[in-house]
Structure 1
Amino acid sequence: MELRSSLGSVATLALVAVIVAMLVGQQLGQPILLGFVVTGSMSPTLEPGDGFVAVPPVLADDIEEGDVVTFDARELQGGGLTTHRVVGETDEGYVTRGDANPFTDQDGDEPPVQESQIVSVALQFDGELVVIPSIGTVALALQGAFGAVIGVLSGLPGGDAVADGNVETLMVGGGVLLLLYSFAADLLGSDRGGRDRSRSRKGATRAGLVLAVILLLILVPATASMVIPSGVNEITVVSSESPSSNPTTIERGGSQTVTYNISNSGVFPQVAIIEPASTGVEVAETTHWIWRGQSAGTTATIHAPDETGVYYRSISERQYLGLLPLSVIVALHAVHPVVAIAAIDLVIAVVVTVVFALAVGFQPLRFRDTGRDTSVVDTVRRTVRKWL
C-alpha cells in the first residue's frame, strides 16, 4: 500500500508539473514539454487540438528536411508561433510548409525561417511524429479555468498586480495549483493518518523530503538564471546600394562593426559565451568572466550580402553561473550548453546536500506536538514565521 501511495503521489505531482509547464509555455510563447496546434494546417499529421512532445532546439539534433518545428513567424497569420514542417533549406534559412497546405510559407510573405526563430522541434521516432491526441483541447480548457482564477484574484483588494504582468501571473497560478495539490495530498492522506500514527511518531518528517524541497527551491531559480537570459539575438540587416548612418544599413558586400554588451546584476560571478549563430557574423571575443555588478563587452562584425535586400544575422549568447573554473565551463559548453548547466546544477546540489547533512543530518525531523492535526501547509507557515 505504501508503494502504491508513493507511486500515486509521484504521478499526481508529475501531472501537476506538466499542467504548470503547459500553462507557462502558453504565456511565454515557448512550448515546454508539450506543444499543440489549434488549426488544421498540419492535417492529417496533427489535427486541431492534437499535441506533440516539444524538444528545445539545444537538445535536438541538427534540423533537417522532414522535421516539424515550432517557430516565431514574422508575417504568417500576423506573426506568432507556427508549427509547420521543414521542406527545404537555403542559404538564408529554412523553407517550411503545413502538411495540408499546397504552397510553402515562403511562397507568401514569410521570409526563410532562421535558427533563432525556432523555439522547439517535435519529437519523432523512425520518422513518425509522436502525437498526443486532444491534449491541446485539454490545455485550452485549463487555460480558460486558469484565466478565470486570475480574474477572480485580480478583483480582490491588491489583486491588480496579478493581472498586470505575465511572470507574476504565472507564479500565482503555479502556486495555486501546487497548493491545491498539497491540500489534496493532505485529504488523501487523512484516511491513513490513524494507522500511520500507530507506527510512527506524530509530526515526524523525512529529512530527505525536506532536502528535496530545499534543492528544488534553489535549483529552479539557479537554472532559470542561466536559461532565461540565454538565447539567440537577431539583427535585421539592410543591404543597400549606398552606406548609411544607420549601423544596420550596410552597403552591399560591405560590413559593419557593432558593440555587444553584457552585464551581471546577480549575486555570483557569471560566464558569458558569445558566438555567431548565422552566416555573415564574426565575434571578436567570445568568452567573458563577469564579476557581480560588472559588465563586459565585445564587438561583432556584420557582413552584408552582395545583393540588396533585407537579411537576418544572429548572435548566440549563453550565460552560466561562475561556480566552476572558466576553462571547465567553456569545455562543457563545447560539448553542449545543457551539459554545462547540468554540471553547475550538480555542484550546487552537492554543496547544499553536504551543508544540510552537516547541519541537520538525515534523521527524521520532528515538530512539537500541538495536540491537533497539522497540515504540511500550516507547518511550513509556522516555520517560516519562526525564522522571520
Structure 2
Amino acid sequence: MLRNLGLALLLLFVGALVAPAAAPVQVSYVVSDSMEPTIATNDGYVLVDAGTVSAGDIITYHSEERGTSVTHRVVDITEAGFVTQGDANPSTDQASGYPPVQPADVSGTVLTVDGDPLLIPNLGVGIALLRSYWHLTVALLAGLVLYRVAGSARQRDRDSVIRSREVILTTAVVAVVVGVALVSFAGTAQTTVYQVTEAETPGGQTLTVGAERTESLVVRTAKTPLTHVVTDTDGMTITDTTTVDEPTASTGDGDGGAIARLQARVLEPERQNMTASIPPQETTGPHRTSLRVSPYPATLPYGVVTTLHGIHPLLAALSTILVIVAPLYVLYWLLVDTMAPLRGTRSRRLRRLGRER
C-alpha cells in the first residue's frame, strides 16, 4: 500500500514538473538569486492557478523582452498591469525598463503556507544531475520497474506464472520514455531582444540600422561524456566556439558545503565561449536573437544527429535512445526464451517436492 502510494506521488510530481503552462498545477525552480532570501537559487516551488492576483503574491509570468519566464513578487497593481520586483532587487522590473505584466502573461502564483512559499530545496541541482547522468537514471528506473513487477508477482496467486517478456517489454518502454524525456529537457536556451535605432545609441541591447554587430556569448552546460551538441540560432550566426573546463569551486564543510560542491560539479563544469555575428538590420524596431544548445547521446554519427534534429529535436532524442535500447531488446528476444516463466507454479513445485521425497 505504501509503495503504491509512493509511486503515485512520484508520478504526480513528475507530471507536475513537465506539465505545460496551461496546467492547473506545475512544479518549477528558480535559476537566479533575484528572489533571495525568500526563494534561493535552484529552489523548487509549486505553481497553482493564479486566480485573483493581489499585491504581495509571487507570480511566474512570461517576459517577452527577456524571452523566458520570470518568478517575482507583485508589489503594486495599476491599470497598465502588475508591477513586479525580485525580493533581492533594489528596484522594480518596470523601473528597469520592462513593461507592466499583463494578466494574460501570468502562468500562476507560487503556493504558500502561512504566507511562506512551499519550497523544494535544491530541486534545480537534482534535475541537472538527472540530465547529466541520464543513463544512470534510466538504469535506476528500469530496476524500479523490475522490483515492482517482482513484487506484484509475489502477491499473485501461487499458481500464476509471469513470463520474462512481460518484464523486459515494460523495462524497454520505460527506458525509452525516460531517456527521451531527459534528453529533451537537457537543452540550454537564451534569448535577447535588441532595439534597432537610426543613430548609434549607448547601451548593451541596441543595434544601429545598417551596422553589423559582434557579440560574445557564454553558455554553461553540464559536462557529460559521449555526447553530440547541436547548436541552433535565430537572428544571428555563431562564428566561433571555444570550450573551457571550469574548475570545481572549493567550498567548506559547513552548512551548504556539500550542496555547493554538487552545484559546482553538476551545474557549471563546462563553459562554451561563443562569438556571434548579428547581421545589419534594415529597419528600426525590436530584433530578437535566440540560441539553443541541445546535447544528445553520441550513439549515432554527428551528421545523422544534426539531420534528425533539423527535422525535429524529439526525433533526434528518440533515435539516439532507441539505438541503445533496441539492440539489447532484440538480443534478448534472440537469445532468451521469452515464453519461459521466471518462476515455476505452485503445483509444479509441489510435484517436484514429492518426487524428491
* Bigger RCO (CA 8 Å, 6+ sep): 2
TM-score (normalizing by structure 1): 0.44
The structure in which a higher percent of residues are helix is 1
TM-score (normalizing by structure 2): 0.46
